[in-house]
Structure formats: C-alpha cells, structure tokens
Amino acid sequence: MNIKLDTRNALRYSFIATTILSTIACQHDTQNIGQNTTPAESVPLVVNSKQAMDLINFNSQSNNIIKPVAAQTSISDGKLHVAFNSKDNNYSGVSFVPKKAWDWSDLNDFNLAFDIVNTSNHSVQLYLDISDIDGFTYTRTVNVPVGDNIQTYYAKMAGHDLGVMNSDHKVELNFTSGLRSNPDTWQSNEHQFTSMWGKKNLNTAGIAKISLSVQSNLHDKSIDISRVQIRQNPKFDPLFLTDIVDQYGQNKKQDFIGKVHNDLELEQQRVDEAKTFTGKVAEDRSRYGGWLSGPKLTATGFFRTEKVNGKWSLVDPDGYLYLATGIDIIRLSNSSTLTGYDFKQAYIVQPPKDNVTPEDSQKLNRVSDEAIASRFIASDTRTNMFSWLPDYDAPLGKHFGYRRSAHSGPLKHGETFSFYSANLERKYGQQAEGYMQAWEDTTVNRMLDWGFTSLGNWTDPRYYDNNKIPYFANGWIIGNYKTVSSGDDFWAPMPDVFDPEFEKRAHATAKVIYDEVKGNPWCVGIFVDNEKSFGRSDSTESRYGIVVNTLTKNGAEVPTKAEFTRLMKQKYVDINKLNQAWNKSITDWAEFDSGIDSSINNSEQINDYGLLLTAYADKYFSTVNKAVKHYMPNHLYLGSRFPDWGMPREVVNASAKHVDVISFNSYKEGLTKKSWAFLQEIDMPSIIGEFHIGAKDSGLYHPGLILASDQQDRAVMYKDYMKSVIDNPYFVGAHWFQYIDSPITGRAYDGENYNVGFVSVTDTPYPYMVEAAKAINKEMYQQRFKEK
C-alpha cells in the first residue's frame, strides 16, 4: 500500500514532522516507563483511507542524537542504517523517544508502518516494543528476510471499528478468536508484525517509546529503515475469521508448498515415505544411539552422566558417549482445537480427585451420547472458522474430544476436534495393524532415519516399549496441596512445598511414572513439572515474588510462611535485629508470622529474601528427587525445565544439589556465551527441553516464538541453534518443541497456533527441517568430542 499525504495537510504535516524530528531521542530503558514522563503533547493527526503521514523520516540530520544500545547507527540517503551487534550482548536495538509523548487519541483505526530492508547475510527477527505513558508495553515481532527489496512491515495501533459487529472498536486487537495471532484483516503484499505479549490496546493518548531490537542473535545483523508512518487501516474484511479451515485442518484460503488436496495424496505420501525407512540406527551408533567410535566408558545398564575432557556428556547403558537430540510432544493430546460448541455441564464427567494428569495432557476424551444430545453453539466466531466438521456418528467423528478447562482463550471449556488424528486415520486407516500402530511405527522409523537419538518430553507412553530409540518420561505433581504465589503464576500457582500433601502427591506422581517406565533401560530420565513460576528477572520484586507474596500471609494457614518465619527467627533471634536489618517496625515474631509488609527496602533484605527463596527451591527439588529416586533409583532426574524467563539463580543453584541434569527451555536463536556463563560456576550437565523456530509460509497465522523468513531459513536457524548447544561444554542435548504443528485455529488449551512442527497437520514432514536434522545428528559427536 503506497499512501501519500493529502495536500490539505501538507502545511500541518511540515510543522508536526519538524516538531517530532527535533524531539526524537533514542535510548533503551525498559523500566519505569511513564513514571516521570512529561504529560502527553497534543499532536492531532487526522488521516483517512487515502492518507498516510510520516512519523519519522531520515532526510534530516536532526536524528544525529540517536544513542542505540549495542548497535551502531548512521543516517545517509534518507535511511537509518542500524547494525545489531551479536558479541556478548543479549539485546541490541534502537528506540525512538519523544520528549513529550505522542498523542494519537483521535485516531480509532490506524497502524504504524516501517519500510525496511535487510542488509546482512542472515534473516533478522525484529522485536517491536511500543510503550505508553501508563507503563504498559505491547511486544510484536517479524522476520525481515535477506534481500535487496525494501518491504513494508506494519503493526495495528488500534483495531478496526467493527460497528454493529461490536461496539468496542478496539476489540479486534484482543484476539477474542482464541488464536495467538489472527489472519490479516486486509489483503496486501505487506507484512504484519506478529503479536507476542503485553497490553494489546495501549493508551494512544501518550505513546512514550517505540523500539526495534534483536535479542540473543548469534550473528551480526543489519537493516536500513527508510520511513516510519502512521496510516489509516484499509477496508476491513468482515470474513477474515470465516471459513478459514479446510477438511484437513489446513488454511483454506491460502495455497502453500506441501498442502494436501485429497485423500489420495495422503495415501501416496505414506507409500513413498515407507520406501525410505531402514528401521535401523545410523552407522557408528550404539543400539541406544551413542557414539561407537568414541571412548568406551563404564557400562551400568542405565543412562548416567560423566565429564569427559572438560565436557559433560550422557553415557548410554552400554558405556558410550551419548547426546540427546529429539522432538517433544509425540502424542495426540495437544493436537485438538476448540470448535466453538459446548454441552450442558451436568453431562460432563469431572476428573477424579487423585488425578495426576493435567487437562492439556488428557487424550481426546469424547463426551457421552447424553452430552452430545445437549450440544449447542458457545461461540459463533469459533464455529464459523471451520468449513467442515464430521457428524458424531460418522467414521471421523471419533476424533472429537472435550476440554474441561482452558488456560486462556474465549471459552473456559468446550468441544474439541483433532484434524491431525483424523488425518492419521485417512492416511493409515487401511493398514492391518490399525492407524495408531501404523503411525507409531512410522514415527519411530522417522526418528531413526532423521538421526535423532531420543524421543523428547511428553511422548505418549505407548512408545515407551518400542526398544529402538531411547525416550524421556515425564509427570506432573497436581493435587489438593496448598499453594503460594510468585505474583506472576503464568501456568498455575506454585505449590506450598512445606505442605505435607505436596510430598504425598509427588510420590503419587512418581509411582505413575514408575508404572509406565517399568525399569526400562531405554528411559534416559524423567522430567517432573514444567516452567514453574519460580520468579522472573524483570525486577527484584518479581525475582523474589514467592518470598514477597508469602511473607504477607499467615503462617498458621500457609506452611511455607511458617518455615520462612522459623528461618528468620533462627537467624535474628531478636525481632529488633530483623527490623534494623530490613528497616521495618514489626512488633514481634507473632506479628511477623501473621503477615507483614514485605516491600523491599535495602540490600540486606534482598540477601535474606535470597535465603528464603533458596529454602523454598531446595524443598521443592529435594521432595521431588526423593519421590523419583524412591521408585526409580537407576534413572536420571532432570528437574522441571526452567523457562529462560523464570530461572532465578538461587533456584537454579538449589536444583543443582538434587537433580542429575538441569533442564532449561530456551526460546532464542541459540545459546549465547554471555547468557549461559553461569553454568561454569555450577558445573552441572544441562539439557535444553524446548526450543523452536517457525515461519509464515506454511499457511499458519503465527510462526511461533522464534521466526524464520521461510522453511529453508527455518532449517538454517535450526542448525545454528543446535551447533550452539553442541559447542557448549555443559549441555548434553536439546529437544525441539514440537513434533506436530499447532492447529491453525489454536490448540485447545491456550490458543497456540504455531508453525513449529517437523510435520504438518496432515502428517507431512517439512523436508528442509528433516535434512537439517540429518546433517546435525550425523556430525554432532565429532563436532563436540573430536580434537579440532
């Protein structure tokens, strides 16, 4: 879309642009936005569908006050040249900050657009952070491919005015569809920034900062920005969410490489792929996937760890060096999507009290015939997305299911359908062993053919006895134990680990895992729980959130608080000494135990909060380790997979005393040396439990957390990530998340609709990814262990 300023606004624009250009400052300050900001400057901008207005252009040297962070900039030829530095930096970017916040409150339906070209040798994932004077930020992202062509990338500042469809013109930005990112609401050759996190509807009366950055990039990268515009949104397509899914669960409105058009294509894929399988491990591999040409170490009959020539490694049961590469979520549990239908709750069977499987790990769970008779439309928006759903009594009707709860989205519960499961029946249904067994056999053969050495976390236990490729088992500790809060309980509140019920539930979980594993030496180890909210690194308060929130509670009701009271009383004895250290005025220990103002005043208090967080983490990991080792003493305990947004050092250090391998989920372009330097102090074997990279040429509306420019670039970035893991002496493997693309309309639990699979919804492998995996897995042992 090429929109020029209307002549009527020319003089007014000249004044506004001069004002803006003279006040632009560039800095990076992600904290305290808006606390000391000058009141918003009233700059009325009126644009219509035939108009656009330059917010920033780079023909003026008034921009020479730009002060980027870990980046180099210059202005020439009407372009801002930005070089993002990768060396020893996790963040590199540039920010545009007016002395007085921009006031766009009179605009109801507009977007912010950038004209950008990539001038480097690697694709650039750009993060766009827009902050308002109220302290809120909305983060979006896009991938700028390598190439000479200037392209336009836009971000909606306010959603379309939906008129009679909805009285709130901003509602379209709220994704009430239940998707993490919606289809485009108008057709163009431009590229919309993909929604990530933050407050979607900012206070447009005061936009305080606009930032563009790269994060944890493995390579130096550079872009040219030639124009930044405020533009009126084009005409809204009211059918942008209607009829978007075909009978195979694919994008009905777009064509793309690998799209399936009929059942015969699925069957031919099966026949052609089966001819390529050998069913054997790669050459120079032990039966478990270890390195036959490497040193022969002590064989214990189970997987273990050992440091060899300064590098940590797993050792397979036969004594060979072993690196764990593989793929997560080889199961159907996350393949279903909410259809928009629901049933009367009186007919829905609730989970038993002793349940140890969370809702999103449940199988399809089709409802009863009585419930089906009560079926009704709970969301027109959702039901209108599907061009086809089977009848319940049709053969493919068996792939309906139900979710009794959802983490996020427009519906709290409802009917689901798995297009992937239906496609398996279409593809393998004629096989004598049945489509599920045929799928299992195909998947194991794929993993061996692609060179992977393991099946990752959340693999269906039906694979546990395949005895051809090792696997990782998992479990969740859920139950009626008491909870505490970190202040940001992303997935769920944290357990009160000092409640005796928590230890009981840990043992119940370990027993279930034991019954599934049955002492099988092909089990590498066990993950328990996932991405617990131990604390964030955003601020001191969020880092010690568990302590900050728990100290306000009554120890008579919250066991963790009672333990915190005991520890502080043990250290200080006299409450006055604690008051002096913390700058508090607490009357006595009884008052302390009943709940106090836990706001942080000084460094001594922070040190004590660190002690208390350590005590909490130590109890969590020691309790789980005790339960796991009670039932499975020969198997590795692999921790709870710290998310890179929630891994306080005190918690990581505490875990190291109890786990055999520390696990992390890291959604970045790779492992930078600066981010992981702390492992040198801990000196423990570590593993990446999750990472992924996606692209938008697959028909899905959201690439994922890390973006490539296309499927070929996705494979290049996969290899870069894996090389950074293999080259790190502390990491003993990495698992890709996940085997299957998310449903195009979002997985039922939380709406993730990402292109993150090694296979699509039609069980079609992505060929570039497969070849990248083969290349990495073939050379990984030589790359890591052979002298260079």
CA distances from 197 to 264, 462, 540, 639 (A): 41, 36, 21, 27
Q: Which two tokens stand for residue 357?
A: 């499987």
Q: What is the mean pLDDT of residues 272-288?
A: 95
Summarize the confidence of residues 457-482 as an average pLDDT: 96
Tell whether the model's pLDDT for residue 41 goes beyond 50: no
pLDDT surpasses 50 at 86: yes
- pLDDT the model gives residue 687: 98
Q: CA-based angle 630:632:635, to the nearest 5?
A: 135
Q: At residue 421, does pLDDT exceed 90? A: yes
pLDDT above 50 for 154:
yes
Least confident of 485-494, 519-528, 613-622, 675-684: 485-494
- Band of residue 430 on the pLDDT scale cut at 50, 70, 90: confident
What's the CA gap between 782 and 786, in Å, rounded? 5
pLDDT (0 to 100) of residue 28:
34
CA–CA distance, 754 with 741 (Å, rounded to integer): 6
Write b or e for each residue in 184-217: b if 16 or more Cβ atoms lie within 10 A of its Cβ, otherwise e: ebeeeebbbbbbbeebbbbbbbbbbbbbbbbbbb
The pLDDT assigned to 363 comes to 86
Q: How much is the pLDDT for 10?
A: 31
Q: Phi, psi at residue 265, to the nearest 5°?
A: -65, -40
Q: What is the mean pLDDT of residues 162-173?
A: 50
List Cβ neighbours of 618 (8 Å cut-off, separation of 6 or more): 654, 657, 658
Alpha helices by DSSP H, 103-231:
none
Answer whether 632's CB lies under 8 Å from 509's CB: no
Cβ neighbours of 332 (radius 10 Å): 19
Position 44 pLDDT exceeds 80: no
Amino acid identity for residue 475 in this structure: G
Q: Cα-atom radius of gyration of the chain, to the nearest Å?
A: 27
pLDDT band of 551, cuts 50, 70, 90? very high
Residue 166 has pLDDT above 80, yes or no: no
* Strand ranges across the sheet with 304-308: 304-308, 311-315, 321-322
Mean pLDDT across 591-616: 97
The mean-pLDDT minimum among 20-29, 559-568, 618-627 falls in 20-29
When pLDDT is averaged across residues 716-736 and rounded to a whole number, the result is: 98
Q: Which two tokens stand for residue 274?
A: 């089966």
- The pLDDT value recorded for residue 171 is 54
Residue 470 makes CB contacts below 8 A (sequence gap 6+) with 288, 289, 303, 316, 324, 453, 454, 455, 522, 523, 524
**Higher local confidence (pLDDT), 60 or 657:** 657
In whole numbers, what is the pLDDT of the chain averaged over residues? 90
Does residue 196 surpass a pLDDT of 60? yes
Q: In this structure, are residues 707 and 140 in contact, taking their beta carbons and an 8 Å threshold?
A: no
* Model confidence pLDDT, tens digit, residues 386-415: 999 999 999 999 999 999 999 888 899 999
Cα-based distances in Å from 199 to 135, 178, 558, 683, 754: 10, 16, 33, 39, 21
SS3 72: strand
Q: Which domains, and CATH codes, for the chain?
A: 7-232 (2.60.120.430), 337-417 (no CATH)
Tokens, residue 396: 């493919």
Q: What pLDDT is attached to residue 92? A: 94
Nearest to 214 by CA among 285, 128, 282, 127: 127
CA 274 to CA 276: how far, in whole Å? 5
Inform me whether the pLDDT recorded for 351 exceeds 50: yes
- Higher model confidence: residue 97 or residue 340? 340
Query: CA-CA distance, 539 to 698, in Å (whole number)?
Result: 38
Q: Let me know: does 238 contact 165? Beta carbons within 8 Å.
A: yes
C-beta of residue 414 within 8 angstroms of C-beta of residue 376: no
From CA 638, how far away is CA 640, in angstroms rounded?
7
pLDDT of residue 788: 52
Contact of 525 with 459, CB cutoff 8 Å: no
- Residue 165 confidence (pLDDT) above 60: no
